[in-house]
Structure 1
Amino acid sequence: MRKNDYRKLAFMGILMIVLLAFQTYTGRGKEDFPAVTFITESLASLNLTDFDPNELDAKQWKLLGFSEKQVSTLLNYKKIVGGQFTSKAQFKKCYAVSTEKFTELESYLLLPETGKDHSSRKFKGYEKKEIIISGKFNPDKLSAAQWVKMGFSERQAEAIVKYKNYLGGSFVSKEKFKECFIISSENYSKMEPYLLLPAKTPDDFKNSTKNYVVKSRIEYRNFDPNITDLEGWKALGFSERQAQTIVNYRDRNLRGSFKTPEDLQKCFVISPEKFQELKPYIKLNPTVDKKQETDFSKIDLNMITFKQLQEFGLDERSAGSMIGFRKKLRGFVNKQQILDTYNIDKDLVQKLISIAPLDVSNVPKYTLTEAPEEWLKDHPYFKYSADKIIFYRTTYHDDKKILKLLKLKPEYEERMKLYLK
């Protein structure tokens, strides 16, 4: 054979190897593309009660509406801060906890407002207690007082009993008992060997709950829901939190009065069954007209209280956001700031600021060279530039020069100037 024939033969061999390799690669079975699952926020409202965030495990954080990634961040953050949250302020700083989520959970957190309260009597009441179990027991038969004796707080005990009633009067099984939000994994592990309950939930559980319905023993009398106070609603069989919800619904959402008995039915804490029990005893007095006690034309917007905002008609979220933002600013200097507050009912707040005056005489203002470091680092308008300001003012003693060096957007600089001398 000629030399060229050998070259051609070698080239053909290489080409065949390449073709076979390509065919093997392209002929592999295609891997299934992972199914895409769209996660939507559960619309089911959580039956929240007071809780210590230091006792929650990953599963319980998920039950509170956090994603798996957020839960991981929360647990890592807790390790970073020393193994436990010591205050609401510290918990809020975790970036996995949004402002909205913190607002939702804040009133239920068994933590002091700040770390400074760590040794206060109030915080001592939140210290974790040891659960004491003397022997086997049927949790269906325990009263709130007996749960407290076991080591739970009064609020926790009430929540456990409430959960039992929610299930129909019985915990039904160890599975269902474990699902009680207030029972941590650690405490369940301690109690599980002593629980006189079947391990598994019956298949017909939804039907079986009918056998556990607790009949009301309340002796109803005629009542006017427009003048019934917190204690009055509790006497009608509602928990303190439910009673407060009804009062808030009447005073805020309905501006102080139920117009018809059916208006009560629209309050979500009053079940259809409970409403039917109450209906024959509801006696609305048409002459009762709750008068607004506060003259808002004389209330300074920098002094108005949370309760007064609620009296005007703002819900807890709007009132809390407005008070919280004002506290951070150390006072509003113009009414537009109030309208710029997050999570408020702008229409209602617009009505409020058109009536109420704003006194800015007591709002603290400083020069950039004299402003306290703590004030700079905490103030919403300065905190993101605080370190630069502190650095520049060691060399420069002129506010205009420091502002120029900061290179802020015009709108940010104008906001700063509101609080500068």
Structure 2
Amino acid sequence: MMRKKYYQKLAFMGMLLIVLLAFQNYTGREKDSFPEVKFITTRSTSWNLTDFNPNDLDAMQWEHLGFSEKQVSTILNYKKMVGGQFRSKDQLKKCYAISAEKFSELESYIMLPEAGKDHHFEKFDKYEKKEIRISGRFNPDRLSAAEWIRMGFSEKQAEAILKYKNYLGGSFISKEKFKECFIISPASYTKLESYLILPAKTPEGFKSHGKNYTVQSKIHYRNFDPNSLNSEDWQALGFSEKQANTIVNYRDRNLRGSFKSLEDIKKCFVISKEKFEELSPYIKLNTNTNPIQKQETDFSKVDLNIITFKQLLEFGLDEKSAGSMIGFRKKLRGFVNKQQILDTYNIDKNLVQKLISIAPLDISNVPKYTLTEAPEEWLKDHPYFKYSADKIIFYRTTYTDDRKILKLLKLKPEYEERMKLYLK
């Protein structure tokens, strides 16, 4: 009996040994190599993201951010549903075509406030409500932003009205078109309608989107000397502000201050053949051939911020130098130090150095602002601010301290110092 148990144990041990040897042989084999498996959850981005306003993006730009054609279509449709403009990051985040992961990836680059009102009927509630003040009949084509503000509109509303006019091609065309300006509420239009010097109906065949279209209105002409007219006078003859400025610059720069003949006027490219024929019977050029005694200018008394093109020519600058200096001063809204004048491109530096050593510079009328109060139009047009304008406008929706905004802009020291010249 004991021998039987002994053989059973021996058989069991033998079987166990065989199993262990088989397992060792299996685990000792070289393992097969399997390719690494990667699960793609989102479309990776290999480009360098920069700050952007989602309201400015077209379909292709959304695709460049990593969205599919179908997702882009959904985003743009959602934008229409909320009134044609995203007003906050929270609102954009609600678009179901933008996943939480994708939004997190883009969030720090989106130039929108964190939160805001979503409903598009409340889009203008941030504007201060003011009473519209009208002093008499007026042509809205000739009003500047400042004049719209004096009438009772906010600064942003005035800017939007002018943008709409430019969209139409530089003229409101008719009362019908003026009424379509989304800034003009029905109540405001009712107050303005009877004062508008515009045709009631839009001419047939009118197309917008920047077409150079002008409205023919009856102007009661009087005899005039084109050499004595300024920009406002030319506008009163039916020209746009841009056209009027071109005519004045053509006369003062190209023709050295005066039209010598009707042919000179006719050659100005912004004066159409039809307009010239309309004006020519009333043009009375000064034909006095007696030499005009040249008036000597005392440049020690001429402020560099109001010195004229003619005076610069009198000092000895050529037209290119004089034009560059006047043009740069206009963009800056005035020089604040004499070094800026020397930094102007295309000038005779030796002659200008002589001029600035003689002439005074009055900076009392040069406009200066804080970053939080500066008009958007000023920021976007000023040579020292325009490249940072969008960021400034974005940051000041959250911050009210100029020092904090300047820090966030991360400007080179020399650029920041130039900005500070025009900051309060």
**Normalized against structure 2, the TM-score is what?**
0.37
- Determine which structure has more spread, i.e. the larger CA radius of gyration: 2
